[in-house]
Amino acid sequence: MPEHAEQSLTDLLFSADAVRRIDQYIIGQQGVDGFDLMQAAARAAFRQLVARWPGTEPLLVLCGAGNNGGDGYLVAASAVRHGLAVGCVAVAPVEKLSGDARKAWQKAVADGVDVQELAGTGEADLEAWFAGAGLVVDAMLGTGVAGAPREPFADLIRRCNRSGLPVLAVDMPSGLDATTGVARGEVVQASATVTFIGQKAGLYTGQGAAVSGDVVFETLNAEAGVAASGEKPTAILRRWPSVRSWLPARPGHAHKGRFGHVLIVAGDHGFGGAGVLAAEAAARAGAGLVSLATRPAHVSAALARCPSVMVRGLDHGSELAEMLTAATVVVCGPGLGQSAWGQQMLQQVMASSTPRVLDADALNLLAGRVAAPLDNQILTPHPGEAARLLSCQVPAVETDRVAAARKLQSQYGGVAVLKGAGTVIASDTGPVSIAGGCHPGMATGGMGDVLSGIMGALYAQQPELPAQVATVAASVHFEAAHRASASRGYMGLLPTDVIEALPQVLRESETPGYCREEKE
């Protein structure tokens, strides 16, 4: 997988502490004036505000005590200079302002901004501020969140969310941890977030992916400072357009034997559809051959749905050995169950040297085993399965998804893919990747089966690149869901809709004329 040095600054995700150190380096070592940097951030935020909500006013700008509040005061000043109606509220008392934040407040007042102190304000005034506003600018807490927001910030956050108004968050939605993407209390539900200097990892995973809205990154011309600071990213953001070139080339004279044989081991009694979904997804994701080992009762239905898949009904795990030998990659777990049948199947898979993708009940069964870490496997747990694998509770996983993915990888080896809003992919080298995003339509049974099938197909085509494969699979899976929901909506989105969207998404990785020359 390409290293972070080859990535643009837009794709590098940093912790809150790392971004603060970058700020300090730019100001202290490169001689950039901190107040000039704050003014540049405010100008960038105001540009986004006007571009997204032209003519929307009055603005209600909520300002905290730190530099994030300073950004807010300067946004308010820009709005007044451009003739917009502005209500600016000092959520923290102005006497607590210091440094550049105090300079920003003074400039706002000098430019004609009427700053109203929250202290001593009555309920009627609070209600009137929100009732009369057309847009809220959240500049209360920024990256300085260490726990649940205290009052009066928590109350203002609740009022923002109840108001139904569009909200522009400056740098971070207030209440969101910039490093982990967790909210330990009230958090602003932003329509858009404008963030500066370095991208924050917390905007792209966990609750951050859900509450940040559209994220716009403004470098403020700090690229050289970020590089010179020596700060390492926590993660790399991987979007479908940036990874589609990672798919292998296909020359015109290709044949099915060149693109791997995926074996799906899935579908105990009552769960036959899981194996069918995984098998069909594998076929649609370009596997040369796909076999499905399932319960005999599911064979007819599987063949009716996917006639291109080789389906075999098995009664006992001992029947699986021959199929494993013929496979390039095995996907084990969708609908596997935890009965004797599923346990027998998993035992055969784990005893084999065939590279594997483990999902669903294979992970639940694996959680009770003590085994040495293995390199030739990709684990794809959702947070509940990850908690079982790590012998902890789900909140512990979701509190720091990047750390949880790293721990999974360290404990079990191979590549760990922690599914969810902002899927986290961890290997044993380099920073983790965050792929996909937040999509409510994917919260339905069978979506994970589709991902495991896609992952198996791509792994079979590039068995030497499991981390890259996992990242591309997560990206294309999310992109297919996004496009399918564009015409169908998200409430009724089905896994089969995602499978149907796959060819059009994957087509974008192909060269016109479908005759790509192989590299020497």
CB atoms within 10 A of CB 70: 32
Any idea of the CA torsion for 381, 382, 384, 385, to the nearest 10 degrees?
Answer: -10
Q: Return d(Cα 187, Cα 467) in angstroms, integer.
A: 33
* 400 is annotated as contributing to ligand binding: no
* 221 is annotated as contributing to ligand binding: no
* 472 is annotated as contributing to ligand binding: no
* 181 is annotated as contributing to ligand binding: no
Q: Give the chain's length.
A: 520
Spatial contact of 61 and 264, defined as CB atoms under 8 Å apart: no
* 419 is annotated as contributing to ligand binding: yes
* 31 is annotated as contributing to ligand binding: no
First-to-last alpha carbon distance for the chain, in angstroms, is 20
Q: Return d(Cα 37, Cα 203) in angstroms, integer.
A: 22
* 66 is annotated as contributing to ligand binding: no
* 138 is annotated as contributing to ligand binding: yes
* 174 is annotated as contributing to ligand binding: yes
Q: Return d(Cα 333, Cα 419) in angstroms, integer.
A: 15
* 28 is annotated as contributing to ligand binding: no
How many Cα atoms occupy the beta-carbon half-sphere of 400 within 13 Å?
Answer: 9
* 68 is annotated as contributing to ligand binding: yes
Single out the residue of 302, 300, 301, 336 nearest to residue 320, CA to CA.
Answer: 336
* 422 is annotated as contributing to ligand binding: yes
Q: Return d(Cα 233, Cα 236) in angstroms, integer.
A: 7
* 228 is annotated as contributing to ligand binding: no
Spatial contact of 294 and 314, defined as CB atoms under 8 Å apart: yes
Sign of the Cα pseudo-torsion (53, 59, 64, 70, in order): positive
CB atoms within 10 A of CB 151: 8
* 449 is annotated as contributing to ligand binding: yes
* 420 is annotated as contributing to ligand binding: yes
**Hey, what amino acid is at 383?**
P
DSSP 128-141: HHHHH-SEEEEESS
Q: Is 418 left (phi over 0), alpha (psi -120 to 50) or beta?
A: beta
> In degrees rounded to 5, what are phi and psi of residue 395?
-55, -30
433: β partners: 236, 425
* 185 is annotated as contributing to ligand binding: no
* 448 is annotated as contributing to ligand binding: yes
* 421 is annotated as contributing to ligand binding: yes
* 23 is annotated as contributing to ligand binding: no
Q: Return d(Cα 371, Cα 364) in angstroms, integer.
A: 14
Annotated binding site for AMP: 419-423, 448
Please enumerate, by residue number, every residue annotated as part of a binding site for K(+).
68, 138, 174
Binding residues for (6S)-NADPHX: 67-71, 142-148, 171, 274, 335, 382, 449
Binding residues: 67-71, 138, 142-148, 171, 174, 274, 335, 382, 419-423, 448-449
